[in-house]
Amino acid sequence: MKIYLSLVIMMITACTAAYGQSSDPLVSNCILNAGPDAKYLKDFRVQLGKADNPGEPRYKTQMSLWKNTRYRFSLCNTEDSEGQLYLNLRDDANKLVLSSYDPETGKTYTFIDFICNKSGIYRLSFDFTAGMKGSGVGVVSMIK
């Protein structure tokens, strides 16, 4: 009886885990690119047209981050995107804490790590370089 009950529980767990996987290949690949030490937390799908006035990132959202936790922000584009997806992270005082885009060099990083020094609500802003149109995903993971 115990063996039967154990098998049923394992089957339910396996079905639940399989159902919880992303069916979007872009999200799945971006999660895999985060690395084996990363635990997936959340993804943000971003699809934007060409900006009239490039500058301030157009896709904005918020997320609660915890002190003494290391996060990895992975950014992936679709092949037809004209620009590279980038992220700006701001704290509760609206101070820029980190960015995956360096405007001086024009370099865009596909992932950035952040060690949170203060728990709170952080603002995540996504856009494509030079306000170009594109589609992509930003994945937030916790590093073990």
Domain ranges in the chain?
A: 24-143
Average pLDDT over residues 6-21: 48
pLDDT bucket at 3, cuts 50 / 70 / 90: low
Contact 127, 86 (CB under 8 A): yes
Whether the per-residue pLDDT at 44 is higher than 90: the answer is yes
- In Å, how far are 11, 69, 100, 139 from 120, measured between CA atoms? 38, 12, 20, 19
Average pLDDT over residues 38-60: 91
* 41-53 as b/e: b if 16+ CB within 10 A: eebbebebeebee
CATH fold of 24-143 reads Jelly Rolls (2.60.120)
Cβ-based burial of 97 (10 A; exposed 0-12, middle 13-18, buried ≥19): middle
- For the chain, how many helices (H) and strands (E)? 2, 10
